[in-house]
Each structure stands twice: as C-alpha cells, then as structure tokens.
C-alpha cells in the first residue's frame, strides 16, 4: 500500500519538510515492523514541491495517479490553501503535519491536519505578552508564506488589542532576493514598540532579531511557531537570548513514548526530532488509524469520525471537520537553547 | 505391479532432451558458480577505486577553499588591511570561486565585521555585519585550536543549499567562508558518469550532501541507519550488500578524513550480474531450441521408424506367402512394440513354412527316386529284351525315355543336395582353404589333364566353416571353369585371396577370394540370374548339367556369412568374387586383424 508524502524538501525552509518526511518515514517503518496495514506492507512515496504551489499541484496529481491511500502534507499553509481545490476534486485524503492556517478550518473537505489552527496558538502568545506587561507591539510577517503569517499576526493582534494592548505598526517583507534586513530592523526600532511579534522562518528571524537588537538591545521579541526549529537558538549567539518562541510541541516532554521516539529518531537520522518530525509521525498514524477502521474504501468518512488519537506526546483531539485541537507551548531562548516558560 | 512401458517416440524425445538440455544446464550452473565471485570481486574493486577517486576529489575541493581562506587569513594577520581593502579581498575571493557563497571576517568579539556575499544569494552584506558568530561551534574550535575547522553541514540561510562553513583563525579575528556543496555534487557527477555506479557523499551525521541528483542532496536523505555507513563515519572502510533505490546494491563506504564525512559508492547487483543474465538469456534460447528440436526430431524419427517397421512387417508377410523384395530401412517407430510382436509372429510362421517345405522336398525327392529307379531298371530290361527287334525310331524313343529318367534322377539328387544345405546347420571348424582347393584339384585331375588346363593357386586363408560345404563350393566353381572352357585356347584359372574392407560403409574386414578363368564367359546381364537354381545359360546339348551348381555355391557362401558376385565377358572369361568373414582374424599367413 502506497502512502504519499508531499512537502518542500529543498529551499530555505526545507527543514520543516525534511523533519516531517523523516517522522513520516519512521512511522511507516514502525507500521511495517508491526505487519503493515490490512496485511500489506507500506511504501512511502515522497514528492518535493520545492515550495512552489504550482509544482505542489503537479506533484499531488502524480501521487494520486500512483493510487496512494492518503497523503501526508503539504507543509506550509500557503501550499495547503492553494491545493485545497485539487484535494477536494481528487477526493484523496490529505493530512497535513504543519499547515495551521485559519482559512483551512471548519470546512467539510478531504483536508485534515494534526496541528492546531494558527489562531489558537497566536492567542496564547498574545496572552503571554500581555501577562508580561507589554502593551505596544510591532508586527512583522513574511509575505512568502502570507496565509500563515497573516493568520498569526491577525490573531495575535486581535487578542492583544482585546487585552488592552496596541499594535503600533504592521510590517511585512518579501524575503530574498531584495530584502534588506537592516532597513527592516530600523523600521522596527523606529516604531516605538516595546515588543516585536515576528512570523517568519527560523533563519530570517535569527538575522532580523540580531539586527534589531543591534539597534534596540532591550526590545522584547516574540516569534511564531514557524521559527521554533532545533537550530534557531544556535543561529544568533547571545543576541537571541530572551526571545520568546511558540512551540507546537512540548520540548521538555519526558514520557516514555516520546523518549523512545527521540532515541530511535536519533539513531535513524542522526539528530533530535522537532515538531515537524513529531507531526509527520502523528499524521501517518492518523491515516493508519482510519485504514484500520475501514480499509481503503471509505477512508474520508473514517478520518472524519476520528475524535481522538494518541499522538507521540499527547492526545490529539479533532472536531467534526477533522481539525485538530492541541495545546501549544511557550519557550524562551537562553544560552543557545530553549527553556520552558512557566504556564 | 505393472511396469510402465514408454512408447519409442517418448523415449526418443526424452533421450534427445537429456542430450540437449542437461549439458547446457550443467555448463550454465558451472559458469554461474565460477562467475558470481569473479563478477562480485570486480564490482567491489571498481567501487573501491571509484570511492578513492571521489574521496580525493572531495579532499581537493575542501583543501582548495582552505588555502584560499588561509591566504586571506595570512594577509589579515601579517599586514592589517586598510579600510575597504578587506572588503575587496573578500569579494575577490567569491568572484574567483563560484561555489563560495559568503565570506566573513569576525572581530575579536566574534561578530561579523566585514562580509561579502555572492550575488546569487540575493542578500546584502550589511545585513550580515554585526551577526554574532561567537557561539558557532566551528568558530569556537578554530579560535581555540588556532587551526582551520570545518563546520557540520547545514542548510544555508542565504541560499537554502546544503553548506559547510570553514573557520580559519587570523590572530584574534576569524575568516569564515561558506561553501555550497553543490560543487561536490558536480564533481561526483563528473566522476560517476563513466559507469553504472552511484556515488554519494554523506556528512558526519549520515545526511547525503553530494549526490548525482542534486535535489536529493538538498533533501538531506540520511544513510546513517546503514551499518556499513556508520562504520565508515567512524573511520573504517566497509563493503556491503544493501537495499537501496528499490533494488539490491553492492556498496562500499570510505571515510573522508579529516572532515569526518564518507563516500558511499554503490551499483545494482543486477547490473553487476548482467553478463550472467545475458548468459542466462542465451542458455534459455538454446534450451528452448533444444527442446523444440528434440521434440521435432523425436517425433520425426518415431514416425519414420513406425512407417518403416510397418513396411518391414508387410514385406515379411508377403515373403512368407509369395516372396518380394525387402524395403529400404533406416529404422525408428511410434508403436514399435506392437509391430515387433507382429513381426515375430510372422517370422515364426515363415520358419514353420520353411520347415514344411524342406520336409516336402526331402519326401518328394525321396519318393520320386523309387519310380525313377523302376523306370530306369525296367527301361533297361525292356531295351535288353527287345534288343534287335526295335526299329530305329522305336529305339530312339526308348533311349529318350531313359535319358529323361536319368536327367530327372540328376535333378532330384541336386535338389536333395540343395535342400540339405538349407536344413543342415553349418559346422564351425578351422578350414585351410589351400588344402581344400588342392583336394578338389586332385578330384578334377582327369578332366584337367584332358583339357591341359592350368590352375594357379595363391596362398589361401584359413577360415572357420564347414569343410564339406567349402569343398563343394570350390568343386562347383572349378568344375564350372573346366566345363565352360574355350575350345580355342588353353584354360587358365587363377585362385587368389586378399583381406579387404567388407564395404565402403563399414570398417569390418573380410577375406576376398577371386576365382578367375579365361573360358567362354557369359553376358553380364546374367550376373544375378546365374545363381538361381536350375537356370541355364547354355543348351543342355552343349554343356550337360542341371543348372544347380552355382546356386549351391551361392547358398554355401550365404550360410558362411559371406557374399558372392559374378562377372563375365562373353568369349573372354568369368570371375567369381567371394567375400568370407575373417572369423578369428587369421589371414593367409595366419596373421592380421579383423578391423582396419
């Protein structure tokens, strides 16, 4: 039985795709070690969309033509929104590990995900900022992943202002080529905000934070979960200390199941797993649960009927549209690593 | 329990299959056993050679960048540049090397003080200035050890490509360059283009960082789960069989010191064993051909044999009745057993009829003698009683009656003699033919003297046979020569012998005895008829006799396993050529072998 994987495996933000692919691969190997699904071994068919919506549609068609049972992917919200019409047309179940855009919520479609929508995570971050006494924020979003960035910024801004805060300026950038981080940092510093909320990838966030803090050393910075990769704390040295990063998973989880996964993942891929790997693994397990319930026929209905699924770290809960409801976690960078923010 | 009987056709097809298929299979199995280790060794040697070449290439690529960065670091340490000079120096470094994406120089605090970025990054150098590299592991190590250090590979924030950074200390400052590993992939592609091998380079964690398909390097596939790759990353070269790219591979992993990467070379087992697969294809074709040929030939031979044996049976049946010529046979059958049973029955019938016929001849001949004797006795008495009272015509008629009776007695005697040859078994004694001929010549002495004939007898062989019959044979042959001599010249008879091949188609040897005379000869048209009983070529008045003599010779030769042929020219003479088996191999002088 073929299982598809579709995601950006090359390019600047390919760390999300590669982590998700590795997690999905490990899940497939675990399932095969347990005898496969419906008595058949599983094969993960991998396609790189190179973070291009047009290419993603083409790759989705390829996977459908290969008669995959379901597809794990896509990785970014922008790709997911672009693919949604094709997904519903082909009626192939698609389970995204990471696409949390609000635009994808509440729809009776063939799209499922094992990540909460962006709004709930952004609300949690805004509440934490308010709790720290921060009242003036400047927002910065990466227009290359506009849907996620806009969702995050809008939700955070809405909740922040509802809590008595003010959005002093909303900025966005297009990324390379042409982006001048120094100029963007100058705009942030000049905004008069006491906090910058940035929705960008880890690498761009690291550069931007460093440049901002060269100009305004004490500025508090809060990053979206997009930047919360394993390497982010190492990309900027002491300049990144004190940066708040939202996490889609509990980095400090010590349950036996998670620790076993961390050990096996490290042995298999030579590194520690992050949330992309965890969600890639859980996405495959969600599809597998549906296949176990009904076989390949009626898979969409079986996926919609899933209300709870034991994930690697916690119980995933789903609404009637297949949207996932899981908590997010707040961390602070200190000395080149993440530390937990007390609830 | 009934024993299963296979038809001749099945047996023939089976034998042809065995002869055609088994040797091919044995040869193929032998070739397989011998070739597999050879092909495997050759493939592993190719893998090792290619891995060494790629390792050298990787080390060269790294060394080139290390030297380039080292020159900048040396200049920085020895001659502190004036304002702007360092920036130009870094830009020149990137211009010379298209695979260098970025070059930085940090200050003593580890922050980037000067930077140059390749235009392909789409980024600006001022965005990099001020970034803190002081906690980057390779920078820390280079500053501590005061020697160049390569970083772990990472996805470049500038280009999104797999990259390795080199930190070269320059006093309290550090030169850092970022190298796109696409250059390695290109080198690997160039080296691997010549063969079927796939070459990849993995980093310290087992991620693929150089691959003929550059996209796979970007996707950072991880090979550290493969034990032989892990061993290479730990510093030990290893060969192994592994499953990759959906088929089994012969692979070799070689460490790349000092950076800690590994080169992995692999080639599909199917490609390695291609010569065997091609051989297998040829063997399969030969096998299919052999099977088809065996079935076709087996069927054809069985069909032909069946037809011919059936013809033989028909001929035997006719022969048992009124005679006929045997068919030409080359042998084979489909229902051989049934036809053979039929043949056996027919021959038994034939033997029974022969016995009845011999008995009839014996009885008839014996019974005919008594009335003949009475005709002769009472004919003689009648001629005596009527002596002087018969007219000339009456005497002539009586003489004719008595003459006819005498010829009939001769015929009956000859018939009995001929019949005795058929019924009696042939004795197997050692017979010296020279002595036999001498005895015959003694018997014929009066006639020889009368004719003043000359008999020249060469050394004749000793053979195994019936002395009486052989004597009869020569008696008849030499008597014939004496009887059919030419009146106008002295009779000359030559008897000689030689050992020859029985026929051009076989290697069996025989004694060839020639009896040649210069008598009246005969027309060659009668060469066969001359051996038929009671056949005469001349008027009885001219040459007395019953015409049984040569028929008896023919029968004796046949019963001794030989053959006889006659040849003659009217008015010039006749020759009889008798071939008799060597029967023990004794030649005229008692030596010789029975095969050439």
**Nearest CB to B157: which of A12, A211, A267?**
A12
The CA–CA distances, whole Å, from B562 to A2, A214, B578, B579 equal 86, 128, 7, 5
Q: From the DSSP assignment, how many helices (H) and strands (E) are in chain B?
A: 15, 18
B126 near A CB under 8 A: yes
pLDDT score of A177: 67
B384 near A CB under 8 A: no
d(CA B393, CA B411): 27
R_g of chain B, CA atoms, integer Å = 55
Please name the residues in contact with A35: beta carbons below 8 A apart, sequence gap of 6 or more. none
Q: Which residues of B touch A216 (CB under 8 A)?
A: none
B219 near A CB under 8 A: yes
Looking at the predicted structure, is the pLDDT value of residue B422 above 70? no
pLDDT digits (tens, 9 = 90+) for B102-112: 999 999 988 99
Place of tokens 């009648």: B382
Please name the residues in contact with B248: beta carbons below 8 A apart, sequence gap of 6 or more. B241, B242, B268, B269, B270
With cut-offs at 50, 70 and 90, classify the pLDDT of residue B87.
confident
Asked if B131's CB is within 8 angstroms of A210's CB, the reply is: yes
Chain A: closest CA distance from residue B198 (Å): 20
- The answer to whether residues A195 and A137 touch, using CB atoms and an 8 Å cutoff, is yes
**Which of B138, B160, B216 would you mutate first to test chain A, the one with the most A CBs within 10 A?**
B160
Looking at the predicted structure, is the pLDDT value of residue B517 above 60? yes
B113 near A CB under 8 A: no
**Nearest CB to A180: which of B124, B159, B222?**
B124
What average pLDDT does the structure give for chain B?
82
pLDDT score of B192: 65
B134 near A CB under 8 A: yes
Average pLDDT over every residue of B560-582: 91
Average pLDDT over every residue of B17-24: 77
Q: For residue B292, with 0-12 CB atoms within 10 Å meaning exposed, 13-18 middle and 19 or more buried, which class applies?
A: exposed
Average pLDDT over every residue of B206-233: 83
d(CA B211, CA B202): 9
With cut-offs at 50, 70 and 90, classify the pLDDT of residue B594.
very low
Asked if B154's CB is within 8 angstroms of A211's CB, the reply is: no
The residue in chain A having the minimum alpha-carbon distance to the alpha carbon of residue B136 is A234
Q: Which residues of A touch B182 (CB under 8 A)?
A: none
The residue in chain B having the minimum alpha-carbon distance to the alpha carbon of residue A183 is B127
With cut-offs at 50, 70 and 90, classify the pLDDT of residue B591.
very low
B216 near A CB under 8 A: no
Asked if A14's CB is within 8 angstroms of B218's CB, the reply is: yes
d(CA B473, CA B549): 9
pLDDT score of B586: 34
**Nearest CB to A239: which of B127, B132, B206?**
B132
Looking at the predicted structure, is the pLDDT value of residue B473 above 90? yes
Asked if B205's CB is within 8 angstroms of A207's CB, the reply is: no
**Nearest CB to B132: which of A12, A21, A210?**
A210
**Nearest CB to A18: which of B124, B132, B219?**
B219
- The answer to whether residues A49 and A6 touch, using CB atoms and an 8 Å cutoff, is yes
Give which of B140, B190, B169 is closest to B66, Cα–Cα: B169
CB-CB neighbours of A57 under 10 Å: 17
Q: Which residues of B touch A13 (CB under 8 A)?
A: 160
Average pLDDT over every residue of B550-572: 90
pLDDT score of B4: 65
**Nearest CB to B219: which of A9, A178, A210?**
A9
Share of chain B above pLDDT 70, in %: 87
Average pLDDT over every residue of A55-70: 93
CB pairs under 8 A between A and B: 96
Q: What is the ipTM of this complex?
A: 0.77
d(CA B36, CA B50): 21
Chain B: closest CA distance from residue A151 (Å): 24
Structure tokens at B74: 């040396």
Best-predicted range by mean pLDDT among B50-54, B274-278, B372-376?
Answer: B50-54
Mutual orientation of helices A146-162 and A118-131 as an angle, nearest 10°? 40
Asked if B123's CB is within 8 angstroms of A176's CB, the reply is: yes
pLDDT score of B534: 77
Best-predicted range by mean pLDDT among B189-193, B224-228, B242-246?
Answer: B224-228
Looking at the predicted structure, is the pLDDT value of residue B318 above 70? no
Asked if A269's CB is within 8 angstroms of B135's CB, the reply is: no
Looking at the predicted structure, is the pLDDT value of residue B330 above 70? no
pLDDT score of A215: 93
Asked if A182's CB is within 8 angstroms of B127's CB, the reply is: yes
Looking at the predicted structure, is the pLDDT value of residue B236 above 90? yes
Q: For residue B432, with 0-12 CB atoms within 10 Å meaning exposed, 13-18 middle and 19 or more buried, which class applies?
A: middle
Please give the model's pTM, rounded to 2 decimal places: 0.60
pLDDT score of B593: 29
**Nearest CB to A234: which of B135, B206, B218?**
B135
**Nearest CB to B122: which of A178, A234, A269?**
A178
| CA angle in degrees (0–180, nearest 5) for B424-B428-B433 | 105
Asked if B160's CB is within 8 angstroms of A11's CB, the reply is: yes
The residue in chain A having the minimum alpha-carbon distance to the alpha carbon of residue B129 is A211
The CA–CA distances, whole Å, from A65 to A69, A70, B285, B555 equal 11, 12, 38, 93
3-state helix vs strand vs coil in chain A, percent to 5: 45, 20, 35
Please name the residues in contact with B2: beta carbons below 8 A apart, sequence gap of 6 or more. none
Strand partners, A48: A7
d(CA B303, CA B330): 12
What average pLDDT does the structure give for chain A?
90
Phi, psi of A271 (to 5 degrees): -155, 175
d(CA B124, CA A323): 41
Asked if A238's CB is within 8 angstroms of B134's CB, the reply is: yes
Phi, psi of B573 (to 5 degrees): 140, 180
Asked if B157's CB is within 8 angstroms of A203's CB, the reply is: yes
With cut-offs at 50, 70 and 90, classify the pLDDT of residue B592.
very low
Share of chain B above pLDDT 90, in %: 27
- Bridging pattern class, strands A308-310 and A315-318: antiparallel
B207 near A CB under 8 A: yes
d(CA B197, CA A67): 31
pLDDT digits (tens, 9 = 90+) for A308-339: 999 999 899 988 777 788 888 999 999 889 99
Residues of chain A with a CB closer than 8 angstroms to some CB in chain B? 9-15, 18, 21-22, 46, 48, 176-182, 203-204, 206-207, 210-211, 214, 231, 234-239, 267-271, 336
- The answer to whether residues B29 and B23 touch, using CB atoms and an 8 Å cutoff, is no
B132 near A CB under 8 A: yes
d(CA B376, CA B498): 48
Asked if B127's CB is within 8 angstroms of A180's CB, the reply is: yes
Best-predicted range by mean pLDDT among A144-153, B79-88, B214-223?
Answer: A144-153
Which is higher by pLDDT, B322 or B59? Answer: B59
Average pLDDT over every residue of B183-204: 75
Asked if B155's CB is within 8 angstroms of A12's CB, the reply is: yes
Q: Which residues of B touch A210 (CB under 8 A)?
A: 130-132
pLDDT score of B291: 79
Chain A: closest CA distance from residue B287 (Å): 38
Q: What is the three-class DSSP state of B49?
A: helix
**Nearest CB to B215: which of A48, A270, A271?**
A48
Q: Which residues of B touch A21 (CB under 8 A)?
A: 219
Q: Which residues of A touch B126 (CB under 8 A)?
A: 180, 182
Give which of A20, A67, A25 is closest to A44, Cα–Cα: A25
Helix (H) or strand (E) holding B342: helix B336-385
**Which of B123, B162, B226 would you mutate first to test chain A, the one with the most A CBs within 10 A?**
B123
With cut-offs at 50, 70 and 90, classify the pLDDT of residue B404.
confident
Chain B: closest CA distance from residue A305 (Å): 34
d(CA A171, CA B320): 124
pLDDT score of B587: 36
Average pLDDT over every residue of B76-88: 81
d(CA A128, CA A149): 19
Looking at the predicted structure, is the pLDDT value of residue A141 above 90? yes
Kindly report the three-state secondary structure assignment for every residue of B3-33. CCCCCHHHHHHHHHHHHHHHHHHHHHHHHHH
Asked if A180's CB is within 8 angstroms of B206's CB, the reply is: no
The CA–CA distances, whole Å, from B110 to A204, B71, B113, B174 equal 20, 20, 9, 8
Average pLDDT over every residue of A126-140: 96
- Bridging pattern class, strands A337-340 and B112-117: unpaired
Asked if B224's CB is within 8 angstroms of A204's CB, the reply is: no
């Amino acid at each position: 039985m073929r299982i598809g994987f579709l995601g950006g495996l090359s390019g600047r933000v390919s760390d999300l795709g590669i982590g998700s692919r590795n997690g999905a691969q490990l899940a497939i190997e675990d399932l095969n070690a347990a005898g496969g699904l419906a008595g058949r071994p599983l094969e993960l068919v991998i396609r790189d969309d190179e973070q291009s919506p047009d290419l993603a549609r083409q790759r989705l068609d390829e996977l459908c033509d290969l008669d995959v049972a379901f597809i794990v992917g896509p990785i970014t919200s922008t790709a997911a929104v672009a693919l949604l019409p094709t997904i519903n047309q082909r009626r192939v179940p698609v389970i995204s590990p990471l696409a949390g855009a609000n635009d994808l919520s509440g729809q009776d479609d063939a799209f499922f995900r094992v990540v909460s929508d962006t709004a709930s995570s952004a609300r949690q971050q805004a509440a934490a900022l308010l709790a720290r006494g921060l009242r003036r924020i400047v927002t910065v979003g990466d227009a290359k992943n506009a849907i996620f960035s806009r969702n995050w910024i809008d939700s955070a801004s809405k909740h922040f202002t509802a809590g008595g805060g003010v959005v002093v300026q909303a900025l966005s950038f297009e990324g390379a080529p042409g982006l001048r981080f120094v100029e963007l940092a100058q705009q942030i510093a000049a905004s008069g905000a006491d906090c910058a909320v940035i929705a960008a990838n880890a690498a761009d966030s690291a550069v931007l934070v460093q440049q901002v803090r060269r100009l305004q050393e004490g500025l508090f910075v809060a990053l979206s979960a997009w930047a919360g990769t394993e390497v982010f704390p190492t990309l900027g040295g002491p300049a990144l200390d004190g940066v708040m990063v939202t996490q889609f998973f509990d980095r400090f989880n010590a349950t036996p199941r998670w620790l076993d996964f961390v050990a096996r993942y490290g042995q298999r891929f030579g590194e520690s797993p992050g949330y992309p790997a965890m969600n890639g693994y859980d996405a495959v397990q969600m599809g597998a649960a549906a296949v176990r319930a009904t076989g390949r026929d009626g898979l969409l209905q079986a996926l919609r009927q899933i209300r709870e699924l034991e994930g690697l770290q916690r119980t995933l809960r789903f609404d009637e549209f297949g949207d996932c409801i899981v908590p997010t976690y707040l961390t602070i960078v200190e000395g080149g690593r993440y530390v937990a923010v007390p609830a | 329990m009934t024993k299963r009987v296979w038809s001749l056709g099945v047996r023939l097809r089976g034998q042809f299959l065995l002869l055609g298929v088994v040797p091919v299979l044995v040869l193929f199995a032998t070739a397989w056993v011998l070739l597999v280790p050879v092909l495997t060794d050759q493939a592993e040697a190719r893998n090792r050679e290619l891995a060494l070449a790629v390792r050298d290439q990787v080390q060269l690529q790294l060394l080139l960048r290390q030297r380039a960065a080292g020159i900048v670091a040396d200049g920085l340490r020895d001659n502190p540049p004036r304002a702007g000079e360092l920036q130009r120096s870094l830009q020149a470094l990137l211009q010379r090397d298209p695979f260098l994406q970025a070059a930085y120089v940090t200050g003593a605090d580890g922050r980037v003080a000067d930077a140059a970025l390749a235009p392909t990054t789409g980024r600006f150098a001022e965005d990099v200035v001020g970034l803190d590299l002081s906690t980057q592991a390779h920078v820390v190590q280079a500053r501590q050890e005061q020697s160049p250090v390569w970083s772990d590979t990472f996805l470049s924030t500038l280009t999104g490509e797999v990259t390795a950074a080199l930190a070269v200390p320059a006093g309290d400052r550090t030169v850092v360059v970022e190298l796109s590993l696409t250059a390695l992939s290109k080198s690997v592609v160039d080296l691997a283009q010549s063969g079927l091998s796939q070459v990849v380079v993995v980093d310290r964690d087992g991620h693929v960082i150089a691959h003929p398909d550059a996209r796979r390097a970007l996707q950072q596939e991880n090979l550290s789960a493969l034990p032989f790759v892990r061993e290479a990353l730990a510093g030990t070269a290893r060969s192994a069989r592994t499953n990759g790219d959906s088929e089994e591979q012969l692979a070799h992993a070689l460490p790349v010191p000092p950076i800690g990467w590994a080169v992995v070379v692999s080639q599909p087992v199917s490609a390695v064993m291609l010569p065997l697969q091609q051989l297998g294809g040829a063997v399969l074709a030969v096998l299919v051909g052999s099977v088809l040929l065996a079935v076709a030939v087996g069927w054809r031979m069985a069909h032909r044999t069946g037809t011919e044996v059936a013809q033989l049976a028909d001929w035997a049946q006719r022969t048992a009745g009124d005679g006929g010529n045997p068919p030409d046979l080359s042998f084979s059958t489909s229902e051989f057993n049934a036809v053979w049973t039929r043949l056996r029955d027919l021959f038994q019938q034939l033997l029974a009829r022969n016995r009845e016929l011999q008995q009839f001849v014996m009885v008839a001949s014996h019974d005919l003698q008594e009335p003949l004797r009475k005709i002769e006795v009472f004919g003689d008495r009648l001629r005596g009683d009527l002596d002087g009272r018969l007219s000339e015509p009456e005497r002539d008629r009586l003489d004719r009656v008595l003459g006819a009776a005498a010829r009939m007695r001769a015929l009956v005697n000859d018939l009995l003699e001929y019949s005795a040859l058929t019924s009696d078994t042939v004795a197997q004694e050692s017979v010296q033919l020279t002595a036999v001929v001498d005895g015959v010549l003694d018997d014929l002495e009066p006639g020889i003297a009368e004719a003043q004939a000359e008999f020249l007898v060469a050394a004749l062989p000793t053979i195994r046979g019936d002395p009486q019959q052989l004597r009869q044979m020569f008696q008849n042959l030499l008597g014939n020569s004496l009887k059919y001599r030419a009146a106008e010249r002295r009779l000359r008879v030559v008897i000689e012998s030689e050992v020859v091949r029985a026929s051009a188609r076989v290697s069996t040897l025989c004694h060839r005895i020639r009896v040649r005379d210069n008598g009246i000869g005969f027309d060659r048209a009668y060469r066969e008829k001359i051996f038929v009983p009671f056949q005469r070529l001349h008027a009885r008045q001219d040459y007395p006799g019953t015409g049984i003599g040569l028929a008896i010779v023919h029968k004796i030769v046949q019963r001794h396993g030989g053959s006889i042929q006659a040849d003659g020219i009217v008015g010039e003479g006749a020759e009889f050529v008798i071939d008799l088996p060597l029967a023990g191999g004794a030649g005229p002088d008692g030596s010789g072998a029975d095969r050439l």
